[in-house]
A and B are shown apart, each in its own frame.
Chain A
Amino acid sequence: MHPLLLRIQHTFSVGVTNVSEWRGDVSVTVTRDKLREVAQFLRDDPGMDFDYIVHVSSVDWPDDEERFEVVWEFYSIRKRQRIRLKTRVPETDCVVDSLTDLWKGADFMEREVYDMMGIRFRNHPDLRRILMPDDYTEGYPLRKDFPLRGKGWRDTFDFLDEVPR
């Protein structure tokens, strides 16, 4: 197993639900309540030293009990290593801790996840939609139950009648 994963498993006996290494990508899944603790460890531990946030993503698994998966990707500038941190959230309680205070770059990335997937981030300083309009009412477009062509919001726009020439 990858030394990073061994280290994480050794440090967190509970909370780490899955570790994997595939195509050279190292990935850790943690439970939601342990997320902050693990993230703090990833950033501050000298052996980890993940100071750079790469991106925040989300995946929708509609058939699973815990429907959404939030994915963080970190890089260490000094150690030149990557890690992926994942956690699962159920649809009924779609909230996860924000990591904005650890990595400031997480601000916009988490807003995008909220906008596209509807996952809320606890203690986020400014959780608003970022790419979709503020008055958008159709829901969250990247969820799997959202149709590709939208739900007809655009049909409600007032169009001007064509002016006869």
Chain B
Amino acid sequence: MAFEDQRTTVYKVNPEHPESETLPTLRTEELLLNMGPQHPSTHGVLKVILELEGERLVKSTPVMGYLHRGVEKLAEDGTYHQFIPHTDRLDYVCAMYNNFAYCRAVEKLLNLQVPERAEYLRTIVAEVQRIIGHQFWLSAQALDIGAMTVFFYCFRDREILLDWFDELCGARLTTSWYRIGGVERDLTPALIDKLKQFLDYFPPKIDEYQVFLEKNRIWLGRTKGVAVISAEDAVNFGLSGPVLRGSGVDYDLRKYEPYGAYPKCEFSVPVGKNGDTYDRYWIRVMELYESVKIIRQCLEQMQEGPIMADAPSVTLPPKERVFTNLEAMIQQFKLFSQGFDAPPGEIYCGTEAHKGELGFHIVSTGGGKPYRLKIRAPSFIHMGAFDHMARGYMISDACTIFGTYDIVMGECDR
């Protein structure tokens, strides 16, 4: 009761100020606190208005839209191909998976089959992107909670993969490597060698990350039993990805609505039990091992073959042919100026990105531009559950909850 004593000494009647005799009753009221929009642990520009009772969160109201760029409106103004670079800027730390999700949605609209080698390439690169995403998440979450070392270790390994991306497509973050109907270019033998080297190098490093955290009392104290959400609530809120699986719901589109080369690979989907921050952490770390497994299998199974679907009215010609061949140049010009003629219809296509279900709802009335394109962004939908998950926890846990969603504001605000 040291705290009580302190309080009485502070409010002891001071003979020189007799009015202080009336002070001892403490004033209590709820405090409004603006967290953000420039708080480092909100992962971008996000403001949350916190109603506090002492240090406990009573109610929190997210204020979003600081990064709103009207991507859905822009989509209606460009052709289907022209939207691919916009998808890079949604979740800007994991551009490849956004490209993948978008291309898959357009292919579903067009009913376009992607050649087998392209499917393998897509899966390999998507899983590399998942590794990058989870490394980025782990470093940011640990940094938010106060464990600085993990950040450096994760970024050291992430750098290897970003350089690999750089060699693959000329960009580290805004990649635009996927194309409607295939991929932009093939993996060179040198790239495959580098990736194989990384796969041997990486699993011991995952153990290393865990050593820093799993026996760390502060980490355990600040993640175990924090931001618990039950399975029913998680489903009801529409959460997805590791946040949903952390509550024990087995929902992974790679397994249940298989796409790419996932049905040909053997991998397991880790599912948590308690629905707390620690379980979501554990799932993501386990997914790192699974991603390594998937990439290994894909590299083994992959056969030679075309990397772009044979549909000249839709797919772009290879770049080297555009500069040497007239027909290819006309094809490229027509596809970028007018676009291809998409059939009228409406589709929704969800893809399991590393944050959760990234979906595209496309309405087409024919012609080269989407009539309406809606992005189902996992970060946005996870923010809807913020108030529910934060209620009753300490103010410092708010940072943990942003982190546990793996929130990226580019995707949240679109």
A23 and B381 contact, CB distance less than 8 A: no
Determine the distance from Cα of A129 to Cα of B64 in the docked complex, in whole angstroms. 10
Q: Mark A48-91, 1 if CB is under 8 A from B, else 0.
A: 00011111011110000000000101000100101010000000
Partner of B350, one of A54, A103, A104: A54
* Interface residue? A130 (CB, 8 A): yes
Contact of B345 among A22, A52, A80 (CB under 8 A): A22
Interface centre among A54, A133, A141, A148 (most CB of B within 10 A): A54
* Residue B72 CB within 8 A of the other chain: yes
The answer to whether A105 touches B109, judged by C-beta atoms less than 8 angstroms apart, is no
Would A103 and B256 count as touching, CB distance under 8 A? no
A53 to B236, CA, bound (A): 7
State the CA gap A126–B384 with chains docked (Å): 12
B73 with A148: CB separation less than 8 A? yes
Kindly specify which of A3-11, A106-114, A156-164 makes contact with the partner chain.
A106-114
Contact A131 B233 (CB under 8 A): no
CA distance A134 to B361 in the complex (A): 27
Q: Is the CB of A108 within 8 A of B383?
A: yes
Contact of A105 among B64, B77, B381 (CB under 8 A): B381
Q: Which of A52, A59, A106, A132: most chain B Cβ within 10 A?
A: A52
- Please report the C-alpha to C-alpha distance between residue A148 and residue B359 in the assembled complex, in whole angstroms: 23
| Cβ contacts under 8 Å, B237 to chain A | 103-105
Cβ contact within 8 Å between A23 and B361 = no
Are A141 and B70 closer than 8 Å at their CB atoms? yes
Interface residues of chain A: helix, strand, loop or mixed (majority): mixed
Q: Does A94 interact with chain B (Cβ within 8 Å)?
A: no
Any chain B CB within 8 A of the CB of A116?
yes
A73 touches B233 (CB 8 A): no
A142 surroundings in chain B (CB, below 8 A): 72-73, 372
Is B296 in contact with chain A by the CB < 8 A criterion? no
Question: In the complex, A131 Cα to B414 Cα: how many Å?
Answer: 9
Not counting A54-B376, A108-B381, a sample of 5 additional A-B residue pairs whose C-beta atoms are within 8 angstroms of each other reads A23-B111, A59-B371, A71-B374, A107-B384, A130-B64
Which residues of B are at the interface with A, using a C-beta cutoff of 8 A?
A: 64-65, 68, 70, 72-74, 76-77, 108-109, 111, 233, 235-239, 249, 251, 256, 345-348, 350, 357, 359, 361, 363, 371-372, 374, 376, 380-381, 383-385, 388, 413-414
Q: Jot down 26 A-B pairs with beta carbons below 8 A, ordered by A.
A: A22-B345, A22-B347, A23-B109, A25-B347, A25-B348, A27-B346, A52-B238, A53-B236, A54-B238, A55-B348, A55-B359, A55-B361, A55-B381, A59-B363, A71-B361, A73-B348, A73-B359, A82-B348, A84-B346, A104-B233, A104-B237, A104-B384, A130-B65, A141-B70, A142-B72, A142-B372
